[in-house]
Amino acid sequence: MAKRKAAVSIQECVACGCCMKVCPKNAISIPKGIHANIHRELCIGCGKCAKECPASIISMEVINE
């Protein structure tokens, strides 16, 4: 089965941190207050962040391995 990973549209991110709060794996950080970073190895593709994002700028990308 293809894996899913969250991807942030960096240009549109407001760095509010909603995604960070709901991530069950602590895979999201906003180190410089500019945009969210997804730690790809930790992301399990649950899609909670994409649902929570108030700007709806996180998409779930399908990754074929």
Partner 1 sequence: MTPKKKWYDYLWIVSLTYLILGFFNILFAWLGLLCFFIPLLIAIAKGNKAYCNKYCGRGQLFSLVGGRFRLSRKKDVPKWMKSKYFRYGFLVFFFAMFFLMLWNTWLVFSGAKNLRTAVTLLWTFKLPWHWAYHGTLFSAGVAQFAFGFYSVMLTSTILGFLTMALFKPRSWCVYCPMGTMTQLICKARNAATQQKK
Of 27, 33, 31, the closest CA to residue 13 belongs to: 33
59 bridge partner residues? 7
Count residues binding partner 1 (CB under 8 A). Answer: 22
Q: Least distance from C-beta 42 to partner 1, angstroms?
A: 14
**Residues 1-40 as x/- pattern, contact with partner 1 by CB under 8 A:** -----------x-xxxxx-xx--x-x---xxxxx------
d(CA 57, CA 42): 20
For the record, the structure tokens of 33 come out as 């207050």
Question: By the criterion CB under 8 A, which residues form the site for partner 1?
Answer: 12, 14-18, 20-21, 24, 26, 30-34, 51-57
